[in-house]
Structure 1
Amino acid sequence: MQTLKIKNMVCDRCIMSVKTLLDTSGIAYGDIELGSVPLKKELSAAKQKSLAEELESLGFELLLDKDYQYVEAVKNAVTKLIHQQESALKKYTISAYIEEMVGKDYKWLSSLFSNKVGDTIEHYVIEQKIERVKELITYDELTISEIAESLHYSSVAHLSNQFKKIVGVTPSNYKTTGKRKPLDKI
């Protein structure tokens, strides 16, 4: 069975978009996850090319290179951890979570990620956490202290310092002035 790897699938709406595209294209698939679509039967080269073009028109990219598939798997694991499974931040180290989700040694993945992306997994995790902080600030349901705890920061000061370093303003100032980035642009 063929599994497609798709770049920029970062949320449930992305999954719905890909499902809709596959349904209208008559492509049979299994349970779709972020960045991964198991197919029930192999696609011809022509059908795969057509699908790649349609995905691209929606802002996705069909990944054919194995190394980039691993990079995308790391990104999807981090996105899922930070944006959907915050409780797992307390149970796992980020490296252990990534190893478990991707099925490869973290040291190897870290090296590959740095070579292909030009940045570290750790920095990518920080960027994702900061985007999550922005999202939670925007909702105005949690205090900065509660946000720091939910994202497993050691302290509010640590969160605030990291936030200001990346965003340029404190979390409090961001509340009145900031804009968020789409997750696929991180």
Structure 2
Amino acid sequence: MMVKDELKKLGLHFIIVDLGVVEIMEDISEEKKALLKANLFESGLELMDDKRAIMIEKIKNVIIEMIHYADEPIKITFSEHLSEKLNQNYTYLANLFSEVQGTTIEQFLILHKVERIKELIIYDELNITEIAWKMNYSSVAHLSTQFKKVTGLSPSHFKALKDKRRSPIEELGN
């Protein structure tokens, strides 16, 4: 909503304002662009115009949307899902992400999956088997192994503790 307000203040008409993406109808002058960038920055947001940085943000947004907000697991592999969503070759996306972020897409994905698993364990609405299905793991053992590699705890030990703090999703992979 802040982005929409800033666009309206500058008299810019938008087609799409979505997570990490804005499409405006008219060409924007350098002056308006600088003003928009400054106003968004004051609100804690950033205007990115570097194509590589934009693609990295799109990759992160697809992962976050898939892990934290999807109701059902995807029916295709993650690499196919990401390629379809961004209309790019997965190898290109993986290489770009690794080069810019210094970590792999897979590691970023795993960090987010583990944070989501922590959240689901804390909510205590699903058992570990249901969580494994929801998070698209082939087995509880696979989920447990990955969870322990990242946290140092088994999911059941984590559940017993419940006071281990979660990391904000904005800080993962940075």
TM-score category, normalised to shorter length: 0.7 to 0.9
- Post-superposition offset of 1:32: 2.2
Ranges in structure 1 where 5+ consecutive residues have no aligned partner = 1-15
> In the alignment, does 2:134 pair up with 1:143?
no
- Post-superposition offset of 1:17: 4.0
Cα 1:23/1:147, change in 2 over 3 Å: farther
Q: Which amino acid aligns with 2:91?
A: K
Kept in 2: contact 1:86–1:151 (CA 8 A): no
Cα 1:54/1:184, change in 2 over 3 Å: farther
2:54 maps to what in 1?
A: 69
1:89-132: CA deviations, max 9, x gaps? 2x111111111111111111111111111111111111111111
**1 CA distance for matches of 2:26 and 2:155?**
49
1:122-146: CA deviations, max 9, x gaps? 1111111111112212222111211
Ranges in structure 2 where 5+ consecutive residues have no aligned partner = none
Cα 1:145/1:88, change in 2 over 3 Å: closer
Q: Secondary structure at the match of 2:116?
A: helix
Count of aligned positions: 170
- Paired residue for 2:33, among 48, 51, 69? 48
1:166 maps to what in 2?
A: 150
1:108 maps to what in 2?
A: 92
> In the alignment, does 2:167 pair up with 1:181?
yes
Q: Which has the higher contact order (CA 8 A, sep 6+)?
A: 1
User: Identical aligned pairs, as a percentage?
Assistant: 41
TM-score of the aligned structures, taking structure 1 as reference length: 0.82
> In the alignment, does 2:131 pair up with 1:131?
no
Cα 1:87/1:50, change in 2 over 3 Å: same
> In the alignment, does 2:140 pair up with 1:156?
yes
- Post-superposition offset of 1:163: 1.3
1:78 maps to what in 2?
A: 63
- Post-superposition offset of 1:26: 4.4
